[in-house]
């Protein structure tokens, strides 16, 4: 035993402290002796630190090499991290892992001193989160197309929550617990809960979903889906219980956390074809194609003051009356639909027409695609003019070096292009018209068979007509393919039209290979910026000036026409961009915002009629002119708040989820598991999931 003796040395006080002489190393002593030694050292540390033991201990640990310190802490299990319960389940759903993969992750975490909930706990938490959202799945008879393109009936899986009301109320309760409910600063009445019902087909399945709009960031919750196309008969088969669920929810009174009662106001959203199907009208091709009013298609292109004096609004009551007349007096004959305001089926849902949202996303995509196609057409025509002058005026000149001209980057491949484009364009237009006619006839045929139409002769005539049109379509498609192959060109590779793709590539925009080479919403958003519009519309002007300047023999009329194309399309696209900016957002709108939007829409429509008097006036243009301002004035938000965008993003999410459930052999159980995983992912009680990536800003 050693004693440290304390005495006064000059003015510095010293203190006695007992430290027992060690006869064995610390690794060999008993736990009791180790504790005694630690207490002695703790006493010495307290005395030498002046009472600040923690700071003194930190200083001592700094003297220990980092690797040695790490090993010591791991040996003492002081580096163990505990992840809260429920977070592993959130990671599983966010990363689309199977339970087997989750077990592997858990073992890896444990090996690195990270503990998390057990699988039993995860399943218990999942069960609690889905307690009010029971999912049922079954096989239902849906109409599908076989390998030969013929319609047949197959049993396909469908899954849905047993109660839409219980699912929505559970979502509201959990949102309230998370403090996520909001009335958007009074934009939503304080005694109302706004719920949007959405639907769309994508990723081989048709999905029904809802959004609670009284949340800060509304999530899209899919509550029903089936693996079949979105034809009228399939929607009626797959959505059998949804109408009753909507009616039940409309009549529900929910008690808010502060004790107030709130009623539900339901909205409907989807693309225009689906909305037409829901409410039983023929759609965009009908004589009266509008869902919101009874305007005639032939008068939509006219200014409002030049149309019929009285154009009535559509209502559920008028739809019911017109369908009754269609069945009673029109005998359900689709050819007579024009006499009954094009109402050909009963409304599936009883959500009022003034609560059916304008499909803003599809209006934007459709109109931008129409303007882009028109610009492409104008450039093709300018290519044809250049080619004509090339053949008639430039190449015959004996002083012109033909090889040099034809190999100029603006001239290469121009002559075969002109011939092929014109012939292929005419054939393709005829094919598209036949496709529309076939779709309409097939829908009529399926609808008649669904309702056991007794007029067998009429059904057979429709079938024979479909077969005839199919054969004609295939013949024309083969002919078009041969024309293009012979010219070794496509209908978009003229010297000027090709440059459109260069502008798109520069801005990382790509047209879809399907759905008529349309754009997606984010790409249209990018292309409606001022600099993008300038790049796109100035193609003709820049190229024409280059051709006329560098090569003799081309008339100045080419430059004049190119400049006119630039001015016209820059003007019309800039006006459309102003409209888009005014209606596409999801923010509340003031009176000034609505008046500005109204002015921009009027300017755009007037300019469209001025620049393109012979172009067709599609239903989406009518919706923009007649009903967009009406909608935002009625509900006080940009169209993005009530629109269909939310359902579009779910298709990619479900494709990811299906990878984690693909190991389930039974398709019915597999679809049920897919829907349950989705409900877990979008639950307000979903905590500790994978953070969203930070957006990258690409500089163009």
- The residue ranking higher by pLDDT, 531 or 509, is 531
Cβ partners under 8 Å of residue 97, min gap 6: 91, 105, 660
Which secondary-structure segment (H or E) carries 81?
strand 81-82
Residue 698 lies in a domain: no
- Give mean pLDDT, residues 494-518: 73
Q: How confident is the model over 258-282, as pLDDT tens digits? A: 888 999 999 999 999 999 999 999 8
pLDDT band at 72 (very low <50, low <70, confident <90, very high): confident
Is residue 238 domain-shared with residue 292, that is, in the same domain?
yes
Domain boundary among 443, 458, 493: 493
Domain range enclosing 586: 359-413+497-643
Least confident among 48-62, 306-320, 367-381: 48-62
Residue 659 lies in a domain: no
Is residue 436 domain-shared with residue 570, that is, in the same domain?
no
Cβ partners under 8 Å of residue 65, min gap 6: none
Is residue 184 domain-shared with residue 281, that is, in the same domain?
yes
Is residue 579 domain-shared with residue 551, that is, in the same domain?
yes
pLDDT band at 77 (very low <50, low <70, confident <90, very high): low
Res 613 pLDDT > 70: yes
357 CB-side CA count, 13 A: 33
- The residue ranking higher by pLDDT, 421 or 1, is 421
pLDDT band at 528 (very low <50, low <70, confident <90, very high): very high
- CB of 205 closer than 8 Å to CB of 608: no
Least confident among 198-212, 395-409, 613-627, 634-648: 395-409
pLDDT band at 488 (very low <50, low <70, confident <90, very high): very low
Is residue 111 domain-shared with residue 246, that is, in the same domain?
no
Q: How far is residue 255's CA from residue 264's CA, in Å, rounded to a whole number?
A: 11
Q: What is the pLDDT of residue 410?
A: 54
Res 3 pLDDT > 60: no
CA nearest 580: which of 264, 363, 400? 363
Q: How confident is the model over 643-689, as pLDDT tens digits? A: 888 888 899 899 989 988 988 999 999 999 999 999 999 999 888 76
Which secondary-structure segment (H or E) carries 37?
helix 31-48
- Give mean pLDDT, residues 133-157: 87
Q: What is the pLDDT of residue 120?
A: 93
Q: How far apart are the first and last CA of the chain?
A: 79
Domain boundary among 493, 516, 550: 493
- The residue ranking higher by pLDDT, 475 or 181, is 181
- Give mean pLDDT, residues 75-104: 85
- Give mean pLDDT, residues 620-631: 95
Is residue 462 domain-shared with residue 501, that is, in the same domain?
no
Is residue 190 domain-shared with residue 44, that is, in the same domain?
no
Cβ partners under 8 Å of residue 125, min gap 6: 85, 86, 89, 117
SS3 of residue 334 by DSSP: helix
Is residue 272 domain-shared with residue 419, that is, in the same domain?
no
Domain boundary among 35, 63, 91: 63
Residue 648 lies in a domain: no
Distance of CA 394 to the CA centre of its chain: 51
* Dihedral sign (CA 380, 385, 390, 392): positive
Res 294 pLDDT > 90: yes
- Give mean pLDDT, residues 534-560: 75
Q: How far is residue 606's CA from residue 242's CA, in Å, rounded to a whole number?
A: 42
Mean pLDDT of the chain: 83
Q: What is the pLDDT of residue 336?
A: 86
- Give mean pLDDT, residues 27-39: 85
Question: Which letter does DSSP use for residue 394 in this model?
Answer: I
Is residue 177 domain-shared with residue 301, that is, in the same domain?
yes
CA nearest 612: which of 359, 272, 287, 373? 373
Residue 214 lies in a domain: yes
SS3 for 641-661, per residue?
HHCCHHHHCHHHHHHHHHHHH
Residue 649 lies in a domain: no
Is residue 178 domain-shared with residue 234, that is, in the same domain?
yes
Q: What is the pLDDT of residue 491?
A: 42
Residue 70 lies in a domain: no
- Give mean pLDDT, residues 457-470: 71
Cβ partners under 8 Å of residue 549, min gap 6: none
Residue 618 lies in a domain: yes
Q: What is the pLDDT of residue 142?
A: 92
Is residue 331 domain-shared with residue 431, that is, in the same domain?
no
- The residue ranking higher by pLDDT, 420 or 291, is 291
Q: How far is residue 616's CA from residue 298's CA, in Å, rounded to a whole number?
A: 10
- Give mean pLDDT, residues 386-397: 57
- Give mean pLDDT, residues 532-548: 82
Q: How far is CA 236 from CA 56, 250, 447, in A?
A: 76, 20, 11
Phi, psi of 697 (to 5 degrees): -95, 105
Res 690 pLDDT > 90: no
- Give mean pLDDT, residues 235-260: 89
Q: What is the pLDDT of residue 211?
A: 95
Res 489 pLDDT > 50: no
- Please state the domain count of the chain: 5
Q: How far is residue 627's CA from residue 83's CA, in Å, rounded to a whole number?
A: 52
Phi, psi of 405 (to 5 degrees): -65, -50
Q: How far is residue 477's CA from residue 485's CA, in Å, rounded to a whole number?
A: 12
Residue 71 lies in a domain: no
Least confident among 31-40, 59-68, 237-246, 416-425: 416-425
Is residue 226 domain-shared with residue 115, that is, in the same domain?
no
CA nearest 215: which of 181, 266, 185? 181
Q: What is the pLDDT of residue 8?
A: 47
- Give mean pLDDT, residues 19-40: 84
Q: What is the pLDDT of residue 700?
A: 45
């Amino acid at each position: 035993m050693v004693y440290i003796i304390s005495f006064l040395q000059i003015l510095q006080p010293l203190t006695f402290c007992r430290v027992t002489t060690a006869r064995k190393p610390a690794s060999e002593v008993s736990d009791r002796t180790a504790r005694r030694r630690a207490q002695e050292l703790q006493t010495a540390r307290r005395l030498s630190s002046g009472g600040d033991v923690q700071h003194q201990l930190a200083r001592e640990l700094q003297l220990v090499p980092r690797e040695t310190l790490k090993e010591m802490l791991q040996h003492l299990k002081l580096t163990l991290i505990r992840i809260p319960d429920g977070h592993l389940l959130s990671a599983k759903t966010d990363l689309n892992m199977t339970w087997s993969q989750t077990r592997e992750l858990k073992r890896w975490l444990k090996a690195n001193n990270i503990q998390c909930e057990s699988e039993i706990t995860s399943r218990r938490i999942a069960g609690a989160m889905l307690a009010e959202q029971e999912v049922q799945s079954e096989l239902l008879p849906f109409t599908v197309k076989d390998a030969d393109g013929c319609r047949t009936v197959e049993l396909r899986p469908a899954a849905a929550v047993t109660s839409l009301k219980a699912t929505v109320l559970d979502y509201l309760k959990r949102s309230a617990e998370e403090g996520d409910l909001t009335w958007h600063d009074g934009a939503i009445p304080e005694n109302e809960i706004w719920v949007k019902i959405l639907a769309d087909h994508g990723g081989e399945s048709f999905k029904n979903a809802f959004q609670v709009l009284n949340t800060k960031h509304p999530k899209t919750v899919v509550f029903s889906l089936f693996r079949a196309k979105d034809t009228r008969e399939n929607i009626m088969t797959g959505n059998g219980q949804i109408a009753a669920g909507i009616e039940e929810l409309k009549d529900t009174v929910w008690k808010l956390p502060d004790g107030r009662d709130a009623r539900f106001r339901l909205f409907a959203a989807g693309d225009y074809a689906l909305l037409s199907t829901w409410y039983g009208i023929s759609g965009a091709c009908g004589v009266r194609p509008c869902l919101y009013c009874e305007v005639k298609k032939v008068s939509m292109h006219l200014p409002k003051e030049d149309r019929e004096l009285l154009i009535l609004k559509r209502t559920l009551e008028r739809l019911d009356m017109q369908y009754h007349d269609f069945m009673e007096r029109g005998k359900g004959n689709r050819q007579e639909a024009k006499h009954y305001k094009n109402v050909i089926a009963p409304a599936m849902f009883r959500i009022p027409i003034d609560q059916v949202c304008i499909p803003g996303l599809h209006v934007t995509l459709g109109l931008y695609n129409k303007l882009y196609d028109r610009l492409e057409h104008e450039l093709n025509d300018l290519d044809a003019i250049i080619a004509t002058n090339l053949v008639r005026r430039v190449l015959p000149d004996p002083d012109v070096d033909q090889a040099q001209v034809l190999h100029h980057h603006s001239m290469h491949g121009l002559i075969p292009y002109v011939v092929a484009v014109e012939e292929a364009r005419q054939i393709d237009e005829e094919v598209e018209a036949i496709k529309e006619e076939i779709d309409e006839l097939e829908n009529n045929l399926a609808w008649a068979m669904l309702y056991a139409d007794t007029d067998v002769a009429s059904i057979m005539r429709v079938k024979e007509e479909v077969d005839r049109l199919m054969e004609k379509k295939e013949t024309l498609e083969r002919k078009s393919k041969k024309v293009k192959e012979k010219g070794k060109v496509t209908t978009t590779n003229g010297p000027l039209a090709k440059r459109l793709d260069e502008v798109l590539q520069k801005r990382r925009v790509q047209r879809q290979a399907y759905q008529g080479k349309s754009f997606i919403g984010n790409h249209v958003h990018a292309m409606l910026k001022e600099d993008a519009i300038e790049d796109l519309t100035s193609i003709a002007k820049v190229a024409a000036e280059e051709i006329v300047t560098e090569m003799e023999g081309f008339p100045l009329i080419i430059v004049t026409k190119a400049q006119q194309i630039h001015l016209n399309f820059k003007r019309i696209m800039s006006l459309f961009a102003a409209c888009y900016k005014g209606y596409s957002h999801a923010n509340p709108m003031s009176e000034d915002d609505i008046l500005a939007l109204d002015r921009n829409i009027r300017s755009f429509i007037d300019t469209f009629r001025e620049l393109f008097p012979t172009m067709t006036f599609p239903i989406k243009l009518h919706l923009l002119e007649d009903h967009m301002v009406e909608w935002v004035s009625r509900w006080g938000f940009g169209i993005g708040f009530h629109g269909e965008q939310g359902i579009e993003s779910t298709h990619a999410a479900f494709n990811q989820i299906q990878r984690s459930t693909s190991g389930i052999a039974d398709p019915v159980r597999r679809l049920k598991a897919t829907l349950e995983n989705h409900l877990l992912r979008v639950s307000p009680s979903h905590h500790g999931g994978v953070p969203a990536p930070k957006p990258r800003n690409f500089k163009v």
